[in-house]
Amino acid sequence: MGKTIIAGPCSVESHEQLREVTAALCKMPQVNLIRCGVWKPRTRPGGFEGLGEPALRWMQELSTTYNVKYCCEVARPEHVELCLHYGLSTIWLGARTTTNPFMVGEICEALQGSGMNVLVKNPVCPDVRLWLGAVERLQQVGIGHISAVHRGFSMYHNNGYRNAPLWEVAMEFRREMPDIPILCDPSHIGGRADLLTPLSTTAMLMDYDGLMIEVHPHPADAWTDAVQQISPDELARLLSEIMHTPVAPDSKAGPRLAALRDNIDTIDHSLLRMLSQRMELSRQIATIKHELHMPVYQSSRWADVMRDRLQLAESLGLNSSFTKEMLERIHAESVRVQLEP
Ligand code: PEP
Ligand code: MN
């Protein structure tokens, strides 16, 4: 399946800036859609808030001149009305909007019966239910073409990212809604142009359906998000580096992959059998604890177990936070089993 590439400036700044970036992007066959901010949600007051209606008028004009399609963010029902008026066929809900079910509801009312394509960015906070809820609200008003956009999450510690990627949250979204295509927005996750390649590579390895990337004709002069935008030439280089056509497995690679997967299946089956045996031992222990009037939860034994297992895990080269989380989960289940009447 071909990937969807959405590229364009964070914000429309002038007719000439939009024309220049459009003239460059329309020559790139991988780019399907041009993104541009017309109304900009600013966390603090005082910044550039977007040009509004005049930008939409230029988009309508340039879409005919260059035979391209544009999309922009909407945050209020009036924005939807204007996008419909100026012939846009795709809009997106920004991260701040997805966080707010009242706003999503009002936008959905305005979209009812419109046939608009809608992209739904993840909410600012890592609550997958808000993301799913926004998609469900759009489905309820009959929006047929919906995609999700993973743009990262606002955390107190973001580990060097502008918005922590938390790939596991997007994975949960995909498990819940496997039929909704998902794009990655590495620009807003990374917040820096130099993070675009590693993040886009990860997105491709995670089999995302596409990317949304901020591209400006002169990134250093951008009015918003200057440090994360790249030029059209840089976009072309990035895409050629990260997009690989899958190679059909040759006569050796196919059987090698199948054999390794067989081993994984066998190991998973053993892991589950051993977990079941472990729970059975917990039940027997519960009987003895009961006879001895001992509490089920034994904090010092649990601390010893954890210390011992973490040491072993380290010597085996396993990630310690993964091991810790897994053991905590197993212990919680063991306690639950022992509390069973
Ligand atoms: C944007 O795409 O320019 C934007 C403001 O995005 P987000 O809603 O992800 O912050
Ligand atoms: Mn931006």
Model confidence band, residue 250 (pLDDT cutoffs 50, 70, 90): confident
Residue 95 in contact with ligand 1 by CB distance below 6 A: yes
Q: Which atom of ligand 1 is nearest to the CA of 94?
A: 8
Q: Tokens 């089999």 identify what position?
A: 207
> Which residues, 6+ apart, have CB-to-CB distance to 145 below 8 Å?
116, 117, 118
Q: What is the pLDDT of residue 155?
A: 95
Task: Kindly report the protein residue whose alpha carbon is nearest to atom 10 of ligand 1.
Answer: 95
Residue 37 in contact with ligand 1 by CB distance below 6 A: yes
Handedness of CA 175, 176, 181, 183 (dihedral sign): negative
Where in the chain do CATH 3.20.20.70 domains reside? 4-243
Q: Inform me whether the pLDDT recorded for 249 exceeds 80.
A: no
- Tell me, in angstroms, the distance from the centre of ligand 2 to residue 125's CA: 17
Instruction: Compute CA 247 distance to the chain's CA centroid, rounded to the nearest angstrom.
Output: 26
Structure tokens at 102: 């009242």
Tell me which architecture the domain covering 4-243 has in CATH.
Alpha-Beta Barrel (3.20)
Residue 8 in contact with ligand 1 by CB distance below 6 A: no
Q: Inform me whether the pLDDT recorded for 64 exceeds 70.
A: yes
Average per-residue pLDDT for the chain = 96
120: helix, coil or strand?
strand
Mean pLDDT throughout 149-159?
A: 94
Residue 151 in contact with ligand 1 by CB distance below 6 A: yes
Task: Kindly report the protein residue whose alpha carbon is nearest to atom 8 of ligand 1.
Answer: 94
91: helix, coil or strand?
strand
Please work out, in degrees rounded to the nearest 5, the angle formed at the alpha carbon of residue 120 by the alpha carbons of 117 and 124.
160
For residue 219, which of 232, 206, 209, 204 has the smallest C-alpha distance?
Answer: 232
Ligand that lies nearest to the alpha carbon of residue 49, given by its number in the listed order: 1
Q: What is the pLDDT of residue 1?
A: 64
Whole-number Å distance between alpha carbons of 89 and 200: 26
Residue 121 in contact with ligand 1 by CB distance below 6 A: yes
> Which residues, 6+ apart, have CB-to-CB distance to 277 below 8 Å?
none
Structure tokens at 235: 């976009």
Residue 41 in contact with ligand 1 by CB distance below 6 A: yes
Single-letter residue type at 296: V
* DSSP, res 32: E
For 167-187, how does the pLDDT look when each residue is reduced to its tens digit (9 = 90+)?
999 999 999 999 999 999 999
Ligand that lies nearest to the alpha carbon of residue 40, given by its number in the listed order: 1
Structure tokens at 157: 């510690």
Where in the chain do CATH 1.20.59.10 domains reside? 252-338
Mean pLDDT throughout 270-281?
A: 98
For 291-322, how does the pLDDT look when each residue is reduced to its tens digit (9 = 90+)?
999 999 999 999 999 999 999 999 999 999 99
pTM, two decimals, is 0.88
Whole-number Å distance between alpha carbons of 70 and 256: 45
Whole-number Å distance between alpha carbons of 147 and 170: 13
Whole-number Å distance between alpha carbons of 260 and 244: 24
**CA distance to 121, 137, 179, per residue, from 129 (Å):** 13, 12, 16
Ligand that lies nearest to the alpha carbon of residue 183, given by its number in the listed order: 1
Q: How much of the chain exceeds pLDDT 70, in percent?
A: 100
Q: Answer yes or no: CATH 3.40.50.720 is held by domain 252-338.
A: no
- Main-chain dihedrals φ then ψ at residue 262, nearest 5 degrees: -60, -45
